Amino acid sequence: MVAQPPVKPQKLDKINLLKQNSEALREPVRSQMQTEEISISHDAYQILKFHGSYMQDDRSLRKKGKEKAYSFMLRLKMPAGVCSPELYTLLDDLSREYGHGHLRLTTRQTFQLHGVAKHNLKTVIKSIMQVGSSTVGGCGDVNRNIMCTPAPIVNRPEYVYARQYTKILAELLRPLSSAFTELWLDGEKAATVEWRDDVDDALKGADVDQEMVKDNGRGIVLNHPVEPLYGDIYMPRKFKIGVTVPGDNSIDMYTNDIGLVAIVDSNGELEGFNVAVGGGMGRTHGKDTTFARAADDMGFVPKEDILEHCKHGADAFLVIWCASTLPR
């Protein structure tokens, strides 16, 4: 094993200090959700992102000098953009009863629900979690919704494998804090996410939770009581993955931090993935050290190693952050 050069410690900024002191994403959201205020503080806003929500105000009132009308947006985690009829019906009902009455599709294959009042936020999130979906991973400095080619092709094995591994990676890189069930389900166990059965079937006896904490001795898995992959500051910013097949770039694979292309043999069996790394369209205006770039082709990774590779990719993201080349 080649020794890695020492990384200069990065002084934590205000946001990362806030994450570090949040009690694994509990505070100050927990305390402020118990007040009768219609809004939350800036600090709570930053932590609430990890729960899949942003606070917003009615822009039409800003220029009129009127008091701000606050509401909350929720963004779901839907690996590969798969939404069951039951989930869609629920979202439609929730939007009509608690939101603006419409749903918005995002560029990362999921839904957003807008216009939820603070006092209804718990009801809406709880309803979503109880049907086997989640908002965790929809926002915040973690692995975001993983995209996959949307073509509904079932008779070509590479498409099937691409969808399977999209869901596997969504589970592998999920945050584990119990704050989500404590705050929104009063500590009750959430329903198993609807894509978990597909994950278990695809792994053929392997356990994605065991794969998450499998330690190869290279420092990827942390000695952390809650988050073995993320630690107490999670990621420096959002992390994006896309999975597709040869000849189908409908997801703009090279705009992702990790892009995977499923490769099958002549018998239709999965061999592994062609991998691209380092893509991203984020930049900060006026800051020349930040820039958008397409991912670089890295090479082929056998299927047996792809989960470990993606764990390494998430870890390397911290090194990129230390180099301060990516914006918040």
Token reading at 109: 């294959």
> pTM of the full predicted structure?
0.90
Q: How far apart are CA 120 and CA 166, in angstroms?
A: 31
* DSSP classification of residue 141: S
Token reading at 231: 């630690």
Q: What is the pLDDT of residues 132-163, one digit of tens each?
A: 999 999 999 999 999 999 998 889 999 999 99
Which stretches in the chain have pLDDT values below 70?
1-10, 60-66, 205, 318-328
pLDDT of residue 282: 78
Q: Cβ(141)–Cβ(235) under 8 Å?
A: yes
Q: Is the peptide bond before 6 cis (omega within 30 degrees of 0)?
A: no
Token reading at 219: 């420092």
pLDDT of residue 328: 40
Please give the backbone phi and psi of residue 52, each rounded to the nearest 5 degrees, phi first. 95, 25
Q: Which amino acid is at 67?
A: E
Is 251 in a helix, a strand, or coil? coil
Q: Cβ(245)–Cβ(264) under 8 Å?
A: no
pLDDT of residue 307: 96
Q: What is the pLDDT of residues 84-111, one digit of tens each?
A: 999 999 999 999 999 999 999 999 999 9
Domains of the chain by residue range: 14-59+68-322
Q: CA nearest 48: which of 56, 59, 36?
A: 56
CATH architecture group of domain 14-59+68-322: 2-Layer Sandwich (3.30)
Token reading at 41: 């503080």
Instruction: Kindly give, in sequence order, each residue whose CB lies less than 8 Å from that of residue 238, ignoring residues fewer than 6 positions away.
Output: 139, 140, 141, 142, 144
Q: How far apart are CA 205 and CA 188, in angstroms?
A: 27
Token reading at 107: 């560029």
Q: How far apart are CA 95 and CA 113, in angstroms?
A: 6
Quick one: which H or E segment has residue 128? helix 121-130
pLDDT of residue 60: 67
pLDDT of residue 287: 74
Q: CA nearest 134: which of 192, 208, 187?
A: 192
Token reading at 321: 């952050």
